[in-house]
Structure 1
Amino acid sequence: MDSKKVIFISLIICYIGFGVINPILAPLIREMGLEERHAGIVISIAALVLLVTAPVWGRLSDRFGRKRIIVTGFLGFSISLAVFALLGWIGMKGILSLNLVFVLLLFSRVLFGLFFPAITSASQALMADVTTTSERSAGMAIIGAATGIGFIIGPAIGAALSSIHLVFPVIITSILSLCAMVLIIVNIPPTKPTLTKKQIKVNLKQVGLRPYLFIGICLMVMIVMLQITTGFFIQDRFSLDAKETAIWFGIGLFCVGFMMALVQMTIVQKRTLPPHILVRIGLPVFIVSFLILIFIHHLAGFIIAFMLIGAGGGFLMPGYTTGISLAVGEDDQGAAGGLTAAATGIGSLLAPVMGTELYRFHPEAPYWTCIFISIFLTIYVFVSHRSLTLQRAKELAN
């Protein structure tokens, strides 16, 4: 099987594991007797570990080869999901004290944060290895499409199978992760290290790198804030029970993933749009989506808002990942993947606690915050026009 297809399929499974927890987390936390802030802490601890380890995994993939790191990542990822599912079941049954279960849940999320970036950073680097500079946006769009499809299937699995038991979808995803590991072992040939000389750290002053990292961090703050608060938001606004919340949140995340994959497969891959143009298209769409979420008090408005969030993300995600990839040298794509994953980690670290605290202040506060971030970023990408277009010139020169 072609390496691009293997990356595509394996990342779909990876993001299924990432997304399957989203529709069940809010009702699971409440069913266990925990509070909203505990959900934020559970997500933040994983993000903190991800932030620390992502650049390390990226460099390790440069030094030891992509395949070995991806396989290691999937093994640990599968274990983390299995432990989370077991602890969720124990917590709902009340077998152990609530404080002990919460501490153990944090441990399972530490494992998640440790191994997830091994998959994503090494896979992004492998995609960069098998694409030319002119193909890079299309290659990163494949990764983005896999992300979107994973977000379609993951929440759908979470919503559909939660009717059996809230943790049952997580068990299924743990098994799928082992299947992805086997797929990589069988189909990806051994990959050679790309570091042939003494390791040199990526210079954050490289043209175009810092603006795209900043955009990536802000984007992940918004996405994670949305993920962590929307379950509570729709449950409270529409007076839903735990299972109804999981189902409707799953439908919303399905819409996000569907639109994200659609945009990237039909527009981003077909047109060679530079990264800064992709970013400029996506940000206004984000602003409109959050306004709809706030002002339309109907489940139809909730679905429309999530479709627009997916469309905006379909432009923004390949925009900033391509920008980061093109800003570094060809021998440093593992490091580029690590930086991309680190941006995810920073955003995921800041957003959960901030989002849940804003939600406790006012249910609409997280979404007004996302609007202000999007407006600020829109201004920023035009102010940073010179840096972003110089990066484009560097791409064309290569």
Structure 2
Amino acid sequence: FVFTVMDRMGVSGREAAQFTGPAFTVGALAVLLAQLVLIPRLKMRNKTLMMVGCVPLFLGAIILVFARDYASLILAQFCIGLGQGLARPGFSSGASLAVSPQLQGNVAGLVISANGMGFIITPFFGLFLYEYVNPHLPFVICAGLLVFMVLFARFGLKDGVGEYAEAD
């Protein structure tokens, strides 16, 4: 996001901090909105949270492809934060509830590892694609992965996912 701000706003790295700080704050507020307001009120199941969370994440990725001004970049961060706030609890709880109590530690480790992979993959592949192939490509790939995630959640997961305790 920082490099996108620098490129789209035409600012240096130091100046970009003036733009990215408030944008990240908006994203964080959107996460809180999703987790403290929307999730308790909407009472969605984990599978639904994953699918619904992908919609604003997808919009955020697409907005980043076309963003040319600061307002669009802020809107993208809001969408990304909202999507993360909805989707992450969905797949975290879904993974946890899909296994027996004896496997809780294993699945927790896998979920945390999957979350951490973003910090490894993005610098190596995302920045390379952004700099040397096309600056829009990482966001297009992200949008494609989100479409895949919705399809997988919709058709690849059983409706009973997350109901291990009820199956006993």
On whether the aligned pair clears a TM of 0.5, the verdict is yes
Identical-residue share of aligned pairs (%) = 26
Q: Distance in 1 between matches of 2:101 and 2:41?
A: 24
Matches of residues 1-398 of structure 1 in structure 2 within 5 Å? Answer: 230-360=1-131, 361-386=133-158, 389-397=159-167
Give, in whole Å, the separation in 2 of the partners of 1:396 and 1:303.
42
Give the secondary structure class of the aligned counterpart of 2:23: helix
Deviation at 1:395, TM superposition (A): 4.1
Q: Which amino acid aligns with 2:161?
A: Q
Aligned letter for 2:108?
G
Give 5+ residue unaligned stretches, structure 1. Answer: 1-229
Q: CA RMSD in A?
A: 1.8
Shift of 1:334: 3.0
| Shift in CA distance, 392/276, structure 1 to aligned 2, threshold 3 Å | same
CA distance in 2, matches of 1:267, 1:234: 29
Shift in alpha-carbon separation, 1:264–1:254, aligned structure 2, 3 A: same
Q: Tell me which structure has the larger Cα radius of gyration.
A: 1
What is the TM-score with the length of structure 1 in the denominator? 0.40
- Contact 2:50–2:91 at 8 Å: present in 1 too? yes
SS at match of 2:160: helix
Counterpart-to-counterpart distance in 1, 2:157 and 2:128: 34
SS in 2 for 1:391: coil
Deviation at 1:393, TM superposition (A): 4.0
Compared with structure 1, are the counterparts of its residues 356 and 316 closer, same or farther at alpha carbon in structure 2 (3 Å cutoff)?
Answer: same
Preserved contact between residue 98 and residue 162 of structure 2 (Cα < 8 Å): no
For the residue of structure 1 that corresponds to 2:43, the secondary structure is coil
SS at match of 1:297: coil
Q: Size of the alignment, in residue pairs?
A: 167
CA offset digits 1:101-132 (Å, max 9, x no partner): xxxxxxxxxxxxxxxxxxxxxxxxxxxxxxxx
Q: Is the 8 A contact 2:95 2:162 kept in 1?
A: no
State the distance in 2 between where 1:335 and 1:365 align: 34
Amino acid at match of 1:376: F
Rounded Cα–Cα distance in structure 2 between residues aligned with 1:392 and 1:321: 10
Alpha-carbon separation, structure 1, partners of 2:8 and 2:162: 45
- The 1:320/1:308 distance shift into structure 2, 3 A limit, reads same
Report the CA distance between 1:238 and its aligned residue.
1.1
TM-score w.r.t. the length of structure 2 is 0.89
Residue 161 of structure 2 aligns to a residue whose secondary structure is helix
